[in-house]
Amino acid sequence: MTSNKTVLISGGAGYIGSHTAVELINANYDVIIIDNLSNSELSAIDGIKKITGRQDLTFIQVDTCDYEALKKVFDNYQFDSVIHFAAFKAVGESVDEPLKYYMNNLMSFMNIIDLMKKYERPNVLFSSSATVYGESDDLPVTEESPRMPATSPYGNTKQMAEDILRDCANAYKGLHGIALRYFNPIGAHPSALIGELPRGVPNNLVPYITQTAAGIRECLNVFGGDYPTPDGSCLRDFIDIVDLARAHVATIDRMTQGKMEAPYEIFNIGTGRPVSVLELITTFEHVNNLNLPYRITDRRQGDIAALWADVTRANEVLGWKASRSLDQTLSAAWAWQKHLAQI
C-alpha cells in the first residue's frame, strides 16, 4: 500500500463523505475514515463496507477539533491526501449559534492543515459550497464570479476556510489545496445502502420530498411561487451524489499525479443545468409513479431566486462531467427512503 494511493477522509461517515469513500475505493484508493459521528451513523460505514466488499476498511472515531487525537492519526497512518468534509452545515442553526459554527468548522480545518504541513503530507481537498457566490448577477457562475458577502455564519465559514487554504497553499512550499464548490447535492447510492440521514425535520428539499412521499411529513411546502423564473419557483443546479463523489476522485487523481498548475485551485461541481423546484417535484412524481402532496407558500428567508454552475473548468481540467440523469437520481433518492423505512 503506497501512501500516494491512501486518502484520509474527515467526516467520511457523512452524506458526501460516505459516497466519496465508495468511489475512491472503486478507483483503487485506500481510505482512512475519521468522523466524530456527531451528525452521522455507523451504519454508513457498514454500507460502505457492503458496497465495496472492503470489510477491513479503517474507521476511527475522532473529532478533528481534538488536535492531539488527530495527531495520533497522522502518527499511525501514511497518506498523502486529505479530503476535509467534517463540518456543521445547517444554515439556520448557524445564524442562531454562530460560535458553534466558527469554532467547529474553522478549528477542525486549521488542525488538519497544520498537521498536513508538519507531517509533510501534500494534498488538501476542501469541501466548499456554491453558497460562497451568494446572489450572483452573472449566471451561470464561473469560478471567477465574485464571491458575495456571506449571508450566514455557515456560508462565512466556507469562505474563510477557502481563504485559509489559499493562503497556506501559497505560503507553504509542498502544500497543495483544491476547493470544490458543490451546488445542490441530492440522491443516494443506487444500492440504497448509503444516502442522506437528516436528523429531525429536513431543511433541504429532496429529503423533505422523500419523507413526504413516505408519509412522515404531511405536505411539502414549496417556498415561493413568485420568483422571476419561468415557473415562479427557485432554480438550482442539482448534482447527483455519485457524480459529486466521482469529482473527488478526479480531483485526488489530479493532486496525486502532480498535475496542478498552481498551489491552490477551485472548481465548481454541478451539472451546469438549472432545474426548478416545481420541475424537480414533477420529475420525482413521474419517475417514482406517485403523487406528492405539496403547496406553494411564502418565500423562505435568505433564499436566492436562481443559482447554477458553469462547469467548463471541471469538465476540461478535471476531465469530470456529471453523467447521471435527474430520473436516475430521484429514483435512487426514493429507493433510499424506502430502505430507511425497513431498518
Letter string b/e over residues 232-253, b meaning 16 or more CB atoms within 10 A of that residue's CB: bbbbbbbbbbbbbbbbbbbbbe
The interface region with ligand UFG, picked from 201-209, 245-253, 254-262, 335-343 by CB under 6 A, is: 201-209
Touching ligand UFG, residues 160-189 (CB under 6 A): 184
Number of residues engaging ligand UFG in binding (CB under 6 A): 19
For ligand UFG, the binding residue among 241, 244, 247, 307 (CB under 6 A) is 307
For ligand UFG, the binding residue among 277, 287, 309, 333 (CB under 6 A) is 277
Touching ligand UFG, residues 206-245 (CB under 6 A): 208, 220-223, 234, 236
Choice between 304 and 317, CB closer to ligand UFG: 304
Binding string, 108-147, against ligand UFG, x = CB under 6 A?
---------------------xxx----------------
Touching ligand UFG, residues 30-59 (CB under 6 A): none
CB of 220 to ligand UFG, least distance (A): 6
Instruction: State yes or no: is 227 an active-site residue.
Output: no
CB of 131 to ligand UFG, least distance (A): 3
Residue 65: other Cβ atoms inside 10 A = 18
CB of 212 to ligand UFG, least distance (A): 9
- Provide the grid cell at 168: 497556506
DSSP 196-256: ----SS--SHHHHHHHHHTTSSS-EEEE-S-SSSTTSS-EE-EEEHHHHHHHHHHHHHHHH
- Provide the grid cell at 149: 458577502
- E strand or H helix that includes residue 262: none
Letter string b/e over residues 310-329, b meaning 16 or more CB atoms within 10 A of that residue's CB: bbebbeebbebebebebebb
Choice between 25 and 307, CB closer to ligand UFG: 307
- Residue 191 sits in the site that holds ligand UFG (CB under 6 A): no
Q: How far is CA 108 from the centre of its chain?
A: 17
CB 118 within 8 A of CB 110: no
Q: Which residue has the cell 423505512?
A: 341
- Residue 89 sits in the site that holds ligand UFG (CB under 6 A): yes
- Residue 321 sits in the site that holds ligand UFG (CB under 6 A): no
Gap between the Cα atoms of 49 and 57, Å rounded: 7
- Provide the grid cell at 200: 429531525
Mutual angle of helices 107-118 and 67-76, in 10-degree steps: 40
CB 318 within 8 A of CB 247: yes
Verify cis geometry, omega within 30 degrees of 0, for the bond prior to 146: no
CB of 181 to ligand UFG, least distance (A): 8
State the catalytic residue, choosing from 29, 154, 208, 227. Answer: 154
For ligand UFG, the binding residue among 58, 191, 203, 328 (CB under 6 A) is 203
Which residues are identified as catalytic? Answer: 154
Footprint of ligand UFG (CB under 6 A): 89, 129-131, 184, 203-205, 208, 220-223, 234, 236, 277, 300, 303, 307
